[in-house]
Amino acid sequence: MFVDLEKLKEIVREAGEIISQANLTPEQIRSKTSQKDLVTKYDVEVQDFLESRFQELWPDRHFMGEEQVEYRYEQRGFLVDPIDGTSNFIFGIPHFCISVAVLEQGEIVQGVVYNPVVDEMYWAEVGQGSYLNGDRLKNPDFALGEAVFGVGGSPYDPNSIEPTVRLIAKIMEEGDIRRLGSAALDLCYVASGRQGGYFEFAINPWDIAAGLLIAREAGVTVTTLDGEEPPLTRTTSILAAGPKMYAKIKNFIGF
């Protein structure tokens, strides 16, 4: 059984209000795994709000959130990033979102990604297509030179810096890149065609789960950077693009 998607969107929109009304001060920011991995009072507040509302309405579902002390994966539940793009949020760059995926038997069956700054709600249900607010999404299947390509950086994973730079250089021989700072929105932007594709060498399940479904439902191919299914149990690489661009990057990497 899926959850009531309208109800889920309503709760996520309410959580967006917490972020829109935030008045962030330096004391409310702290680092997690490294100096570049930050969390704010509002990441925690939004996560607590979502957890308590979900528990009221759907008490039999497990809750997995980025800001929990320990990530304990379960096949049935909610996989949540309360603020994806925390650094953007901290520096006042208006590009961040709340990301919520619903899992059933380990599959992502529903996804909601909401940017409260521009009031853009991306959502999808498996087999039913994906949407931006009320508009159905379809990836336009651009060639590499016809659209910008999104890149994620993972400063907490030094091993990914070299391969990231190499792939950027290769893409820039024909195309152009963007580093927007929210993996969930990167995937939604590929769904809508604002970006032709997106890759990142080390990304966490809560950042990508909802966006992955939204992208796939819009005709985007999403795998790891070696062509496998991205796992939801641990950090992974990711490559998302329309069929033409995907084939091109696959060829560059050689998997």
Span from 7-15, 55-63, 180-188, 233-241 in contact with ligand IPD (CB under 6 A):
180-188
Rule CB under 6 A: is residue 183 a binding residue for ligand IPD? yes
**Closest to 27 (Cα-Cα) out of 18, 40, 14, 15:** 40
Count CB neighbours of 20 within 10 A.
10
> Cβ closer to ligand IPD: 206 or 246?
206
What number of chain residues touch ligand IPD (CB under 6 A)?
14
Q: Token digits for 112?
A: 């909601």
CB 197 within 8 A of CB 146: no
Count CB neighbours of 86 within 10 A.
23
Rule CB under 6 A: is residue 154 a binding residue for ligand IPD? yes
- Pairing mode of beta strands 221-223, 176-178: unpaired
Span from 51-59, 82-90, 220-228, 230-238 in contact with ligand IPD (CB under 6 A):
82-90
Single out the residue of 16, 152, 196, 230 in contact with ligand IPD (rule: CB under 6 A): 152
Q: How far is 99 from 48, CA to CA, in rounded Å?
A: 14
Shortest approach of ligand IPD to residue 117 CB, angstroms?
Answer: 15
Single out the residue of 45, 51, 125, 207 in contact with ligand IPD (rule: CB under 6 A): 207
Rule CB under 6 A: is residue 182 a binding residue for ligand IPD? yes
Rule CB under 6 A: is residue 67 a binding residue for ligand IPD? no
Residue 1 has, within 13 A of its CA and on its CB side, a CA count of 5
Rule CB under 6 A: is residue 236 a binding residue for ligand IPD? no
Cα end-to-end span (Å), the chain:
37
- Between residue 7 and residue 66, which ones bind ligand IPD under the rule CB under 6 A? 66
The helix (run of H) or strand (run of E) holding residue 162 is helix 161-172
Instruction: Give the footprint of ligand IPD on this chain (CB under 6 A).
Output: 66, 81, 84-86, 152-154, 181-183, 200, 203, 207
